[in-house]
């Protein structure tokens, strides 16, 4: 599945993400719901459990993937525990949703990047996120 200006991603909730890039990263934070879940709505302040696959725009291999670890991640959303792009992208989506997020550096790791993860300053990040639960 694809949306204008975004990478191609398989839209099957729970399936290992495949990501194909074309062209330049979009400007600004961009969120595309690939699968709309029918579970509870994620709200700011909730603790969410997700599977995610994160790549630097244009990269073939992820810098981090809970799919690779076979271990979902849980954290509070909308309260500064994760990068701003996540805090602004997840609330408003339902459990069971697969979302594709393009996060410019100002909503990610900024001009300093995160070199230990292979993220350069100014890099746009792309995440495929499956929302497993919220509480």
Could you tell me the CATH number of the domain that includes residue 27?
Answer: 3.10.50.40
Asked if residue 3 is part of any domain, the answer here is: no
Residue at 22 is within a domain: yes
- Tell me, what's the pLDDT at 65? 98
Assessment of whether the complete model's pTM goes beyond 0.85: yes
- Is 2 among the domain residues? no
Question: What separation, in Å, do the N-terminal and C-terminal C-alpha atoms of the chain show?
Answer: 29
Q: Do the domain assignments include residue 74?
A: yes
Q: Is residue 1 part of a domain?
A: no
Instruction: Dump strand ranges (E) for the chain.
Output: 8-9, 19-20, 30-35, 47-56, 64-65, 73-76, 98-103, 125-134
Residues 81-128 pLDDT 10s = 999 999 999 999 999 999 999 999 999 999 999 999 999 999 999 999
Q: Look at the chain and report how many structural domains it folds into.
A: 1
Confidence of residue 3 (pLDDT cuts 50, 70, 90): confident
Distance of alpha carbon 80 from alpha carbon 122, whole angstroms: 20
Range of the domain at 56: 8-134
pLDDT of 2 > 60? The answer is no
- DSSP state letter for 39: S
Instruction: Say if 45 falls within a structural domain.
Output: yes
Location of structure tokens 């525990």: 81
The whole-angstrom separation of Cα 100 and Cα 98 is 7
């Amino acid at each position: 599945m694809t949306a204008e200006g975004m990478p191609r991603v398989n839209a099957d909730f729970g399936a290992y993400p495949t990501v194909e890039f074309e062209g330049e990263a979009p400007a600004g934070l961009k969120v595309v719901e690939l699968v709309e879940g029918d579970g509870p709505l994620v709200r700011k302040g909730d603790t969410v459990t997700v599977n995610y696959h994160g790549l630097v725009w244009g990269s073939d291999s992820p810098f981090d993937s809970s799919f690779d670890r076979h271990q979902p991640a849980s954290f509070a959303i909308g309260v500064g525990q994760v990068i701003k792009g996540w805090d602004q992208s997840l609330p408003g989506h339902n459990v069971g949703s697969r979302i594709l997020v393009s996060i410019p550096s100002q909503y990610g790791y900024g001009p300093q990047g995160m070199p230990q993860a292979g993220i350069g300053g100014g890099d746009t990040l792309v995440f495929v996120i499956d929302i497993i639960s919220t509480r």
